[in-house]
Structure 1
Amino acid sequence: MLEPRRLRMLSQLRRSGTMASAARALGYSPTSISQQLALLEKEAGSTLFVAAGRGVRLTPAGVLLAERADAILDALDAAAREVRRIGETPVGRVRLSTFQTAALTALPDVAGVLRRHYPGVRLDVVHLEPREALDALARHAVDLALLEEYPGTPLPKPRSVLRRVVALDPLYLATPSGESARRPEPEARWVLEPRGTAARRWADATCRASGFEPDVQFESHDMTVHRAVIGAGLAHGFLPGLALRAVDDDRITLTTMSGDPARSIILASDRASAGDVACTTVGRLLGEMFTSPSTDPGAGPAVGE
């Protein structure tokens, strides 16, 4: 008997091309993926993939099984949704993709509500970048996704995905306390997200609009690192409101910028999950967590005032 979880790993490996990429997309370690796929080869009685440079290449048997796996997994997911629709009480597993600041804001409270009021719902969470999350939705690898969309960097809109904006998260110029920056300063050193991310593209464009290329000394996806570097007086940066929710950090001065830029927090779902009671319940709870309380941590005067 072929185990569905391992079939899903093989399907993802076919798309990703490397164990590391497949592991990241599914929320496992590369070692775990490798071990599970080795077991799948024993179940199938055939070699399914071979090493190819830094990645792997599926054998003809692996390609055939991966193609069949997609149809099998879609049918299993559809059956699970149909069974859950029979009852009015939310039950079953909901797979959520999210990003750091959204997870820190919403997950503890959502998980608490589910534990107290919907014990039949299991919430599995994976951290994916927005475009990876949209791909996972399209492949039914996740049921819901929290996405961030920065000004000027719109996300794709796959036809199979439903989406709604649950919050507008203000973006602030963040400087060490005591430094009176009124706009992005060319002389400053900066902490920004890595190149290739939507946040970095927006930050670079914002600095260029002020006439300079930022001197980036620190790069990190982690907003707690940004906050620590700015608070220590080592750099300037840009912080979203969610990164400062429930944090009273008097080491950082926040300044609103011209045009009041904000990123959109988007809740996306697979159209096939629209009638699923468990998915609808988790989606509703996530939406409520972002609409109350406000994400505004109390910034200083706007640039240009």
Structure 2
Amino acid sequence: MALDVRRLRMLSQLKASGTMAAAARAMNYSPASISQQLAQLERDVGSTLFVTAGRSVRLTPAGTALATRADEIIEALDAAEREVRRLGSAPVGRLRLAIFQSAALAVLRQVYGRLRRDFGGIRLDVAHLEPRVALEELSRHAVDIAVLEEYPGSPLPKPRSVTTRLLTLDPLYLASPAAEHGSAQPDPRARWALEPEGTAARRWAEATCRTAGFEPDVQFESHDLMLHRAAVRAGLAHSFLPGLAVGGSGDDAGIRLDRLPGDPARSIIVAYSNSAVDDPVVSTVAEVLQDSFADNSRSPGALGSVGP
């Protein structure tokens, strides 16, 4: 009996993820579906492939052996697909993109518009993931391409299996309520909207405040930069906002934006597997992303007014 490649992919993902739930998330299935398909794979091969241990899953020796072979089969199939793509007259294929919020809001309209106009054979599925999670998913082949951010002094720990390139430098602003007419320096008396502790953005923000001589009083803590922006606009907090989160629009109604000493910027990068460097679909999407970020930097009002 021929083994189902989809089930082999599930077993490979289970080995990489360690839990049924994580494998299901990575492959966009329900845990029940993954479990049913792997149970059928066990029946197909006539052997127990995994055992549960609490919330985690441990592969049996037979499962480990089959998963190792599955990795080889999947890599061979993916290589064959890339070779066929290279021989085609136009790139055709389906990719899963991981991207964080402010980048998605800034460029996805341009990306999809360009793909529809010039590359109708490419389907791009999007997952909203924070950079560290996106990098993990990329390493597990759960996504094909990822847009990531790096704050000054905090490069992401990128595995050797991943290729990256810079898309743009996104300037970082001190954001304060426009009605305050305050200083261009961080205000030690202000309350702040910052990203959660442990993130590169939070470490950079705290270091910036400490350089100015104080610890920030954090009232709003969220990955959501739109919440930060709304808190500043409402006069409830100060924040540090990147240009993509405010349309790069300088002073706007409701928010005052000031450049910081040294003109810091976060790096926006695209990442994909080394094995996909010559994949025309991956290369095309990476180029479209690059062009879209370039267009965004030339169009300061891309997100519209920051005012009420």
Q: Which amino acid aligns with 1:101?
A: S
Give 1:28's aligned amino acid. Answer: N
Q: Could you tell me the TM-score, scaled by structure 2's length?
A: 0.85
Q: How does 1:37-76 map to 2 (within 5 A)?
A: 37-45=35-43, 48-76=49-77
State whether residues 174 and 236 of structure 1, in contact with CA within 8 Å, keep that contact through their aligned partners in structure 2. yes
Q: Which residue of 2 aligns with 1:301?
A: none
Confirm whether residue 113 of structure 1 aligns to residue 114 of structure 2: yes
Q: Which residue type is aligned with residue 237 of structure 1?
A: S
Q: How does 1:129-144 map to 2 (within 5 A)?
A: 129-144=130-145
- Once the two structures are TM-superposed, the CA of residue 296 in structure 1 deviates from its matched residue by 8.3
1:286 deviates by 0.7
8 Å contact from structure 1 (residues 164, 268) kept in 2:
yes
Q: Which amino acid aligns with 1:192?
A: L
Cα distance between partner residues in 2 of 1:220 and 1:211:
24
Indicate the SS of the match to 1:153.
coil
Return the TM-score normalized by structure 1: 0.86
Q: Is the 8 A contact 1:150 1:202 kept in 2?
A: yes
Matches within 5 A, 1:1-305: 2-24=3-25, 26=26, 28=28, 32-45=30-43, 48-179=49-180, 180-245=182-247, 250-294=253-297, 297=300
The one-letter amino acid paired with 2:236 is L
Query: CA offsets per residue over residues 105-146 of structure 1, 9 Å max, x none?
Result: 222221122122222111122233333333443444333221
Q: Distance in 2 between matches of 1:6 and 1:203?
A: 45
Within 2, Cα distance between the matches of 1:41 and 1:234? Answer: 54
Find the aligned partners of 2:97 and 2:10 in 1 and give their Cα distance.
17
| Preserved CA contact (<8 Å) 2:248 2:297 | no
Structure 2, gaps ≥5 residues long: 302-308
The CA distance in 2 between the partners of 1:105 and 1:5, in whole Å, is 35
- Following TM superposition, by how much is the alpha carbon of 1:3 offset from its aligned partner in structure 2, in angstroms? 4.2
Distance of 2:55 and 2:41 partners within structure 1:
26
Q: How many residues align?
A: 295
C-alpha distance in 2, partners of 1:226/1:3? Answer: 47
Does structure 2 conserve the Cα–Cα contact (< 8 Å) formed by 1:241 and 1:296? Answer: no
* Paired residues of 1:2 and 1:40 also in contact (CA < 8 A): no
Structure 1 gap segments, 5+ residues each: 299-305
Pair 1:182–1:286, CA change in 2 (3 A): same
Answer yes or no: is the 8 Å Cα contact 1:245–1:295 preserved in 2: no
Contact 2:7 2:41 (C-alpha < 8 Å) held by counterparts: no
- Deviation per CA, 1:177-222: give whole Å up to 9, x if none: 2121422222222111112221111112112222222222211111
Equivalent residue number for residue 303 of structure 1: none
Please list every run of at least 4 consecutive aligned residues from structure 1 whose deviation after the TM superposition is greater than 6 angstroms: none
